[in-house]
Amino acid sequence: MKYKTQKIAIAYFAVALALFTVQVTLGLILGWIYVSPNFLSEILPFNIGRMLHTNSLVVWLLLGFFGAAYYLVPEESEREIHSTKLAYLQLIILVVGTAGVVVTYLFNLFDGNFLLGNEGREFIEQPRWVKAGIVVAALIFLYNISLTVLAGKKTAITNILLLGLWLLSLLFLFAFYNPANLALDKQYWWFIVHLWVEATWELVMASILAFLMLKLTGVDREVIEKWLYVIVATALFSGILGTGHHYYWIGTPGYWQWIGSIFSTLEIVPFFGMMAFAFVMVWKGRRDHPNKAAMLWALGCATLAFFGAGVWGFLHTLHGVNYYTHGTQITAAHGHLAFFGAYVSLNLAIISYAMPILRGRDPYNQVLNMASFWLMSGGMVFMTFTLTFAGTVQTHLQRVNGQAYMDVQDQLWIFYAMRFGSGVAVVLGALLFIYAMAFPRREVIEPGPAVAAE
Ligand code: HEM
Ligand code: HEM
Ligand SMILES: [Fe+2]
């Protein structure tokens, strides 16, 4: 570790991983409710658990991005972070906001209250006071990081990271705009939900991957920067108009069906680019970096993101297909693998790389970390298949044959049972990851002098 303010990242990563455990455990509960619908129905209704599952996902991913920024910006800018105090203040605000959300959702408090009640729009259900807190925290973060970058060396990696973080924060402001007209409400709602994961977060992903490749493979910075610019340009070119794939059936004009189909198909390009980038860098790289687990997560991230977002996204993005699959388990299959591949794995990659350095622990539990990669990724891939099968059957019975929703659900039981099984693997993988990062490696018993002499 070259700069002492990089240590801020430890706190962010620790809180992120704690929330990650909460998120996947809630997923498991939701998965069990699908198998046994009355499970916990009095204490934790499905809709509340679902809000907590998706919101904790987004919050921990963002905390991970913030942590990644606090780790890599000093190294890139060759400067300490402008203010350590502000960085911790930002974390405290976010933790208090998260606690507020959990309490409000769990006990269903302040229903309908303008400031304190939850808003009920998927992913941005947070009460308005929490949203305001998020904006304050984001402003503190942007101020702190921007001043650091401006005072120091500017690299393509920090420029693109900052661009992504600024744009995603600005887009969050649409969370305050909730028009009464449902079509308009949805139109702006996708500005956050879609333009986050399919535009601005992609910039964050590309820059963090670039940083990891720079460190892990030792390829020249100029080569990495060229790739970075191409990826960012194709991401923005396709992703912005690609929002149209959510405008097919919400009451917007019909031309969106063509704009959405064409541009969202092009969204495969940046994800393919990131995968090709990662593999070409490893192939060209001269460095044999000892942290193989970080490399595994980085390559896994680029690959699973290509499949989850690119391939599974394309599967249902043409409007002729989406007409049938909209809002079925096909959507859930894609949502899970895309989020896991792109953003969960990205965070686990940078955490795997940075934590051993931050905590001065090298060698660390690397083999366990790699085992957690296979367990978690295997579980998520299996879950994606079970949901894809469930979604295919559902689409046919419900959308083609016209059977009632609940009658169809009854016939999908076996897929949901298998999804639950894969969820168990994911949760175990997550716990293993945390164990590998949190605890020192057991001492390796060196051969004694007698053995060595043989
Ligand atoms: C890191 C891993 C995970 C990620 C990234 C993730 C992500 C998500 C996302 C984005 C949604 C909303 C999906 C949509 O609107 O289509 C969701 C819902 C859900 N997730 Fe997960 N999840 C993860 C782990 C799990 C696990 C381990 C389970 C357990 C089996 C699970 C079960 C569910 C269920 C049952 C829903 C509700 C789906 C519905 O409304 O029909 N998730 N998750
Ligand atoms: C990492 C990037 C991505 C993530 C995290 C992601 C995640 C999601 C999630 C969670 C949903 C469900 C939203 C909801 O209805 O609540 C969704 C919907 C959708 N995604 Fe993605 N996605 C990504 C990239 C893509 C790409 C590249 C494509 C196209 C090639 C795509 C095509 C779609 C389509 C068509 C829907 C609407 C499904 C429906 O009509 O029900 N996604 N995505
Ligand atoms: Fe989208």
Residue 420 has which token pair? 């639950």
Query: Residues lining ligand 2, CB < 6 A?
Result: 122, 197-198, 245-246, 264, 267-268, 305, 309-310, 313-314, 316-317, 322, 326-327, 331, 334-335, 338-339, 342
CA 59 vs CA 86, 118, 292: distances in Å? 19, 16, 28
Give the contacts of 254 (CB within 8 A, at least 6 positions apart). Answer: none
Q: Which ligand is nearest to the CA of 342?
A: 2
**Residue 65 burial (CB < 10 Å; 0-12/13-18/19+)?**
buried
> Measured in angstroms, how far is the CA atom of residue 417 from the centroid of ligand 2?
24
Task: Find out whether 86 and 171 touch, Cβ atoms under 8 Å.
Answer: no
Query: What separation, in Å, do the N-terminal and C-terminal C-alpha atoms of the chain show?
Result: 40
As assigned by CATH, the class of the 1-153 domain is: mainly alpha
pLDDT at 35: 96
Contacts of 124 (CB under 8 A, 6+ apart): 131, 175, 189, 192, 193
Tokens of 188: 């702006």
Q: Whole-model pTM? A: 0.96
Q: Are 119 and 127 in contact (CB under 8 A)?
A: yes
The vertex-300 CA angle with 171 and 56, nearest 5°, equals: 40
CA 446 to chain centre: 41
Round to whole Å and give the CA distance between 282 and 274: 12
Q: How far is the CA of 22 from the centre of ligand 2 (A)?
A: 23
pLDDT of residue 454: 46
Closest Cα to atom 15, ligand 1: which residue? 332
Q: Which residue has the CA at smallest separation from atom 17 of ligand 1?
A: 54
* Pocket around ligand 1 at a 6 A CB cut-off: 24, 27-28, 30-31, 34, 50, 53-54, 57, 331-332, 335-336, 339-340, 344, 419-420, 423, 426-427
Q: Note residues around ion ligand 3 (Cβ under 5 angstroms).
A: 194, 198
pLDDT at 375: 98
Contact at 8 Å (CB) between 26 and 46? no
Q: Are 164 and 135 in contact (CB under 8 A)?
A: no
Question: Is the separation of the CB atoms in 274 and 231 below 8 Å?
Answer: yes
The complex's ipTM works out to 0.97
pLDDT by residue for the chain (454 residues), tens only, comes to 899 999 999 999 999 999 999 999 999 999 999 999 999 999 999 999 999 999 999 999 999 999 999 999 999 999 999 999 999 999 999 999 999 999 998 888 888 888 888 888 999 999 999 999 999 999 999 999 999 999 999 999 999 999 999 999 999 999 999 999 999 999 999 999 999 999 999 999 999 999 999 999 999 999 999 999 999 999 999 999 999 999 999 999 999 999 999 999 999 999 999 999 999 999 999 888 999 999 999 999 999 999 999 999 999 999 999 999 999 999 999 999 999 999 999 999 999 999 999 999 888 999 999 999 999 999 999 999 999 999 999 999 999 999 999 999 999 999 999 999 999 999 999 999 999 999 888 766 666 666 554 4
345 neighbors 380 (Cβ within 8 angstroms): no
Mutate to test the pocket of ligand 1, among 22, 33, 39, 53 (most ligand atoms within 8 A of CB): 53
pLDDT of res. 77: 97
